[in-house]
Structure 1
Amino acid sequence: MVVGFRAFFAASILALSTLFAVPATAGTLQCVPFARQVSGIDIHGNANTWWGQAEGRYDRGHEPRVGAVLAFAASRSMPVGHVAMVSKVVSGREVLLTHANWSYRGGIERNVRAIDVSANNDWTDVRVWYGPIGDLGLRSNPARGFIYAQPSKTIDQPVQIASADATGGAAVHAAF
């Protein structure tokens, strides 16, 4: 009877452990998968590659918009760059960001302040809220600009044009 109990106990422990097991691939939350999830921008790879990958797929620019991703360039302190979603535009030179893995390893920060400190007012140099000091970070960070969540409209994408036909009904034509 003892053998049966031990086997049952061992099987129960094994079954319970699978309910709470952490997958082998689990790790620290990174900025890229988080930005992809909250923005809907489907780009993969290191953050410093997002700006180039977005070309021709998503509109890019230097004007902050809610839902856009601010793409930070690689630098000595950020060798693989960083990406963060704009959750609110406060002014042309201040936004609130939602992002992961900035102030705290694997942590998520929502609606934290970021300001444009670039000489040309083009969001190529940015200071971002840093939790451990409770203020904007002491250094600025190089950025490439904003990637907008709407896919880019290029010349080889069909555009539908609606018009009225002779009977007054609508007809849809594809233009290339």
Structure 2
Amino acid sequence: MQTFLRPILLSLALLAPLAAPAQAERAQQGLLALFAPAQKAGPDRAARAELKAAVKVALANPPRGRIWCVPFARAVTGVEIRGNAKTWWDQAKGRYPRGAEPRVGAVMAFAASRAMPKGHVAVVSKVIDDRTVLVDQANWERNRITQDTLVIDVSAKGDWSQVRVANAGGTLGRVNPVKGFIYN
């Protein structure tokens, strides 16, 4: 039944911007609840607990001034890459495994775009299914750390090269280019 309902619910989620913010949030929570049983058990659960502990430390020790995605991703994953987010994918080559499969604790490396000229990095916090994940990230919402933000793969090939990320109101935003995932 979940497979049958998925396209319908994703269509509804894409129409959520037309709904009131409270309705959009309830729709997103309903979508997440439907797919929650599909989460992989075992190693993902342990990796998620470890990641959430690192995020808790980051939340308890915010930097002075602006909160940025790069230092946050580095702190919670241990991936020791510096520089703008748009450079992470290339810098990881030969240093860290890279791929197109989301895994808990992996860094999702967004490519630079007109809307994000410096790129963006986020950390996969939960794999819902092969085209839906949750991420923890910094500065997607200005100067904030957000947890378990919905991200949906909208690429034609299902290769995570294009995604839509939930906004503060729970609606799905623009299509964003992604280079892939960096594993530690």
Q: TM-score range by the shorter chain?
A: 0.5 to 0.7
RMSD, aligned α-carbons? 1.1
**Structure 1 equivalent of residue 66 of structure 2:** 28
Offset of residue 135 of structure 1: 1.6
Offset of residue 136 of structure 1: 1.4
The two structures have a TM-score, normalised by structure 1, of: 0.68
Structure 2 residue runs of 5 or longer lacking an equivalent are 1-62
The two structures have a TM-score, normalised by structure 2, of: 0.65
The alignment of Structure 1 onto Structure 2 pairs a total of residues equal to 122
- Cα deviations by residue, 1:126-147 (Å, 9 ceiling, x for unpaired): 100110x32211x110000000
Quick one: distance in 1 between partners of 2:86 and 2:143?
A: 18
Higher-RCO chain (CA-CA 8 Å, sequence separation at least 6): 2
1:112 and 2:149 matched: yes
Offset of residue 26 of structure 1: 3.4
Decide which structure has greater strand share: 1
Quick one: distance in 1 between partners of 2:115 and 2:137?
A: 17
Structure 1 residue runs of 5 or longer lacking an equivalent are 1-24, 150-176
- Cα deviations by residue, 1:69-93 (Å, 9 ceiling, x for unpaired): 0000000000000000000000110
The equivalences for 1:62-141 within 5 A come to 62-103=100-141, 105-131=142-168, 133-137=169-173, 139-141=174-176
Find the structure with the greater CA-based Rg: 1
- Cα deviations by residue, 1:88-116 (Å, 9 ceiling, x for unpaired): 0001100000000002x110000110010
Quick one: distance in 2 between partners of 1:95 and 1:27?
A: 29
Quick one: distance in 2 between partners of 1:34 and 1:74?
A: 18
